[in-house]
Amino acid sequence: MNSDNKKIKTSILLILIATAMLIGVLGYIFGLKRGRAENTDEASTEKTTTESVTTADSEEETEEITEEKTTEEKTTEAKKEDGKEDKEEKEDKEESKAGEGAIYVKVTSGAPWEKDGGYGFQCDVMIKNDSSSEYENWEIRVAGFKDAEIENIWNAEYKIEGDEIILTPVEFNKRIAAKSEYKDVGMIVNVKTKEDCKNIAKGGTLLVGGEVVAEADAAEKIREEKKQEREAKREPRPVEEGTPLDNHGKLSVKGTDIVDKNGEKYQLRGVSTHGIAWFPDYVNKDAFQTLRDDWGANMIRLAMYTDEGGGYCTDGDKDKLKSLVSDGVDYATELGMYVIIDWHVLHDLNPMKNVDEAKKFFEEMSSKYADNDNVIYEICNEPNGSTTWEDIKEYADIIIPIIRKNDKDAIIIVGTPTWSQDVDTVISDPVTGQENIMYAVHFYAATHKENIRSKAKAALDAGIPVFISEFSICDASGNGGIDYDSADEWMDFINENNLSYSSWSLCNKNETSALIAPECSKTSGWTDDELSETGQWLKDTISSK
């Protein structure tokens, strides 16, 4: 009996030992599995260990390996996805950077004057940064200064090394902010001959920290690229046989459109002089013929300032100014072009200030040209300051009847508040009892954009006829950089709505809006190289559709 009990006890002990060993093995196996599930970074190492362990439950082991592979694949895919996102993010950044606007330097030279046996001229430097990057401690190098003498310079330090002048900033303009423009660096340069003036580079090389960030011909490249883009979009305008006046006769206003003698829509495309008191030489028949034959212009605007120095109502020579207006009308008539007589209100703010002079002037002009089919009257260029539409309408109600007494049906353009931008103020209270009345809208593309177009569109939708009697493609100062994109948006709007337009200005003044290059002294027959960037753009625009 005792022997049997011993055998039983021994058997139980062996069973307990075997059970404990089995539990230990299973615990080890499941511990490994749990550890691998919690730490995927060691998956490949644990996978090898697991595959070397044999268990009775092969299906469970298969599931274990499958799970490990799935985890490993997910980890790899996640890493690939992260890498893909990093790459895409990098590409996006590069694409964004590539799509940024350019930064460039433009150097312009004004018309030279004789001085001490040689010549002097003003040279202006502009840095335009259309990019979203900022630059500091810049340096500009401009060639052509070997034999030049700098008489005066502002807003920059300089030294001349060899053929180059090296310009560096002063304290306030060391930093070139993103989306900015610096145009206040300039100098008076003395040279020996006129030819030396032409040797001054029209570009400039911009360096930051010794690294070139804008090549000397960057501005030229940008201009050429924009020109090619415009040419690709436009077709040459068909050349008409005969003159514009012969073909289209007396114009009138129908709805919001100008129509010709046949009742067909017609668009006036032209050029405005600068103030004829200051640039009288451009009022000549050859100039107008160049604009008609080479550019395709069909209209000239004669701008006669009223309240500035040399203005008609201040200290200007009234007889000389009226003679220039008359000459301009006569030249345009001989060439079969349309012509605007512009009473150029600006400094006077409110046209009522000089209403008595305006009454006498328009009485004389409308009487003189009552039988002309090509004369248009612009009775107040740009009312501004606190002048309201009510003020302007009061003036219009005085001047329009004076013109109508002599000329029953000429087109008359009425200015609008805020430098002829707020044409929408006319909607609720237009001039009544008169036909062939239009309302001015002026814009400068780098400043005035959708905000002014929306006002013009509101007026057109309300049946108010709009005439773009003055515009340019730079900023509202008449200077600064050109905004080609905004200019193209404006031209699309103008053409879609059959609006007539006149571009500022026919002169060689050293500013962006002048159509002739400042170093060109010719008053007609200009080649493309003798035009400013604005002049080249306008010529391309008028001659294309």
Report the alpha-carbon distance of residue 194 to residue 351 in Å, rounded: 44
Q: How many CA atoms lie within 13 A of 165 on its CB side?
A: 24
Report the alpha-carbon distance of residue 459 to residue 453 in Å, rounded: 10
Angle (nearest 5°) at CA 227 between 288 and 101: 130
Report the alpha-carbon distance of residue 322 to residue 375 in Å, rounded: 15
Main-chain phi, psi angles of 168, to 5 degrees: -130, 155
Which uninterrupted H or E stretch holds 530? none
Angle (nearest 5°) at CA 35 between 31 and 36: 120
Report the alpha-carbon distance of residue 383 to residue 399 in Å, rounded: 15
Q: By three-state DSSP, how is residue 280 classified?
A: helix
Q: Which residue out of 64, 68, 308, 382 is catalytically annotated?
A: 382
| Residue among 115, 162, 111 at smallest CA distance from 511 | 111
Per DSSP, helices labelled H in 39-57 are: 43-51
Other CB atoms within 10 Å distance of the CB of residue 545: 13
136 catalytic residue (yes or no): no
38 catalytic residue (yes or no): no
Give the burial class of 186: count Cβ atoms within 10 A of its Cβ; 0-12 exposed, 13-18 middle, 19 or more buried: buried
Question: What spatial distance separates the first Cα and last Cα of the chain, rounded to whole Å?
Answer: 124
Chain Cα centroid distance, residue 383 = 25
Write the CA distances from 447 to 86, 428, 484, 497, integer angstroms.
Answer: 39, 27, 12, 21
Which uninterrupted H or E stretch holds 478? none
Q: Let me know: does 534 contact 514? Beta carbons within 8 Å.
A: yes
Per DSSP, helices labelled H in 234-373 are: 244-248, 285-290, 318-334, 355-368
Report the alpha-carbon distance of residue 533 to residue 524 in Å, rounded: 17
Tell me the helix, strand and coil percentages in the chain, rounded to 5.
Answer: 45, 25, 35
Q: Encoding tokens for residue 470?
A: 């003055």
Report the alpha-carbon distance of residue 414 to residue 410 in Å, rounded: 13
Q: What radius of gyration, in Å, describes the C-alpha atoms of the chain?
A: 39
Other CB atoms within 10 Å distance of the CB of residue 351: 27
**DSSP per residue, 435-466:** SSEEEEEEEETTT--HHHHHHHHHHHHTT--E
Report the alpha-carbon distance of residue 170 to residue 155 in Å, rounded: 6
Q: Let me know: does 446 contact 473? Beta carbons within 8 Å.
A: yes
> What amino acid is encoded at 455 in this protein?
K
Q: Let me know: does 275 contact 344? Beta carbons within 8 Å.
A: yes
Q: Which residue out of 308, 378, 470, 533 is catalytically annotated?
A: 470
Report the alpha-carbon distance of residue 417 to residue 350 in Å, rounded: 9
Q: Which residues form the catalytic set?
A: 382, 470
